Amino acid sequence: MRKTTKNATRVVALLASFAMVVSFAGGTTAPAELKADTVVNIGSNTAVPLGSTGYVRHDLSDKTTAVAKNMVKSYVPYENGELAAEGDYLKFTADEASETNGFRLDITSYVKKNPSGTLYGASLMLGVKDWEEDQPAKMFFEVTGENGGTYEVARATSTGDNTIIETDSNIMWYDHFLEGEAAIHYDSDSKIYLCVTQAGTVQGYDSVRLWGYPDEHADATDVFITTPELDDESKQVSMNFTNLTEEDKNLVIDIQDYEEDEVVGEDKYTVTIPSGMEDQDISLTADQGDVLNVTDEEGNTYYKDYKLGTYDWVSTWANAEEKANVDSNSMPNIDLEGTTYRQIIRVTTSGTKLRFRFSNQYGETPLELKSVHIAKQVEPTESEIDKTTDVALTFNGEESVEIPAGETLVSDPVEFHINALENIAVSTYFGEVPETITAHRGGRATMYLIEGNHVSNKTIDSNYNRKAWYYLCDCSILSPEGSKAVVCFGDSITDGYGTDASYLGKSPDSYTRWGDYFAKRLQAEGKEKISVLNEGIGANSMLGSYPTDRGIDRFERDLIEHDGVGYCIIHFGVNDIQKLSDTSKADLLIPEFKKMVDTCHKYGIKAYGAPILPFGTSVDYYSENSEKVRTMINDWMRSDESGFDGIIDFEHAVQDPDSEIPSILKAYTGTDGLHPYDGYDVMADAIDLSLFE
């Protein structure tokens, strides 16, 4: 076994904005720079750093979440006196005034979630009852050493000002509070305490906040292994290991050599990753086609049947681009310059390495992306992200990039472990933006817009929520051999019209388009390698131009601009046959459908036809000639002449069998007559999954 490691120690650095960094190496004697009189004055207008995240957020005034749950038991008097819940705050009382009156809070478990070497800027916000200006409060950290010594680190003192601080951040400040910033180093055996003292005999605290500004943030129970990379030339597979747990981890790496689906050789390695170890690189002998498994002694599996050298990029999410300023009713233009836009996507397959595509197709000038971060969304209906997953995207190694007019750009690959059907928040801070925006109206999910750079904010409180995707058009996953994407090409029925309509009693973030249900079925029924890409555009037609490019003009783009497309479901054409006065339209449309089939086959993609749904109860669409043309097109699709590789019968899945004129069941469409917005699951259930091998 060839094994290389980067030397690392279990040390985490905490840095502050003031130029003071102190360190300690344990023992019973404090280093000279840690004298108790080390003081940093904090002005009354100090603000929590924008983009920081809360580590300690105790609302002691909220009995339902704090006092009633005995949160106050986490607090102990700093030296003398007593602490007790009283009314809507935590009350400290002492027999006599002393500068050591106050509390101590153990924050070890909060801070040590940061892997060693992580930067951390700390800022405290404290709600104080009955503030006395002649008794300024002090905030400092205490760190216990491995031999029992305790050192006071980086003391900060308030000015005693009791005015409300105005800040550009999204924090709701209390009337009276202390803020401070401090910095410490600690080692793996340290205990870390946040301490606040004030000379008065009675003090009250209704909130305590400690905020961090980390480069990384990871749960201290996790082991991370980067995606294995095979070098064909050196015949080596390389991985990077991080162990943030409190124990050494013994990993078993099994590499099997296959020939004609038979195991002809096997190498097993046991590798110990020390507790607190980061960035340990391991390289092992391997060849293309070898199968890798990584497990630990507790039975956890990190990689299973990973076939080396066979992975490729396959799109897992996509949308169809449109012009954002088509008209004021469909999608008005938006001023994105200088704002952060958090847009939500749902991936349809799993993986450990991602890349994203951004499009400036319709822009007349360059598009500037100043910063783009991705993270997992916590709840589908909220802006909150899981800060432990927050990571910046780069483009040729740079965080900021310009995309020329009319072009698209793919980000650098990023290590990001994601499961199928999980949501990713893509937060983009925009610089200069073209007048004409490239977007997609039908996001059917809530997006969040705010002025300024807030790409790493845990939440975005915005009054300008949108449901459209801007500039983001594709997400790809490095996927195993046999993975393929399905392009669902269509109009508003594919785009999911009605799934977010309040007048129908629905709301966004439900993920109830037929493509969403299709993706769920694939994952549930053993087709985990098949991803689903929604290329539907509401009101779009084959031959017309509203609201953007004609179907015949955008088809090839929407088919091949994505990675690993193996199938295409074409469910299109209803907007071309609205209220027809004769049947001549069939002669125009059928040749265009045939061209779509031929285009699919040119790129080795299987084409499946989904006949046009009935619309007999739609007063806006139905006419006798429209129904005749619909029947002519559907009959042609089912014929050998069409060249389709299969038929997906959405038509009869939603049709009312008792209707005299072919119509969608009223239970699925209500009074609409056109969109089966309560039958999208029925459409997905009608798809024969054996078509996707």
3-state secondary structure 114-150: CCCCCCCCCEEEEEEECCCCCCCCEEEEEEECCCCCE
Q: Give me the percent of the chain exceeding a pLDDT of 70.
A: 73
Residues 6+ apart with CB under 8 A from 673: 615, 616, 617, 618, 619, 620, 621, 622, 663, 664
**pLDDT, greater one: 463 or 537:** 537
Q: Read off the pLDDT of residues 648-672 as tens digits, 9 standing for 90 and up.
A: 999 999 999 999 999 999 999 988 9
Q: Where is mean pLDDT largest: 9-18, 177-186, 333-342?
A: 333-342
| Residue with the two structure tokens 């039975």 | 299
49 preceded by cis ω (within 30°)? no
User: 370: burial class by Cβ within 10 Å (0-12, 13-18, 19+)?
Assistant: middle
User: Rounded to an integer, what is the distance from CA 661 to the centroid of its chain?
Assistant: 46
- Dist CA 297 CA 77 (whole Å): 43
Q: Read off the pLDDT of residues 310-369 as tens digits, 9 standing for 90 and up.
A: 999 999 999 999 987 655 445 556 889 999 999 999 999 999 999 999 999 999 999 999
Task: Using pLDDT thresholds of 50, 70 and 90, give the confidence band for residue 133.
Answer: low
The tokens for 542 are 């084959």
676 three-class SS: coil
**Averaged pLDDT, 574-592:** 98
pLDDT of residue 602: 97
E strand spans, 190-261: 191-197, 202-212, 223-225, 229-231, 236-243, 249-259
- Which value, to the nearest 10 degrees, does the dihedral of the CA atoms of residues 438, 441, 446, 449 take? 40
Lowest mean pLDDT among 69-83, 449-463, 554-568: 69-83
Contact 245, 218 (CB under 8 A): no
pTM: 0.72
pLDDT of residue 156: 53
Q: Read off the pLDDT of residues 224-266 as tens digits, 9 standing for 90 and up.
A: 899 999 999 999 999 988 776 767 888 999 999 988 888 999 9
**pLDDT, greater one: 594 or 547:** 594
Task: Using pLDDT thresholds of 50, 70 and 90, give the confidence band for residue 382.
Answer: very high
- Using alpha carbons, list the distances in angstroms from residue 629 to 6, 550, 612: 69, 20, 10
Task: Using pLDDT thresholds of 50, 70 and 90, give the confidence band for residue 502.
Answer: confident
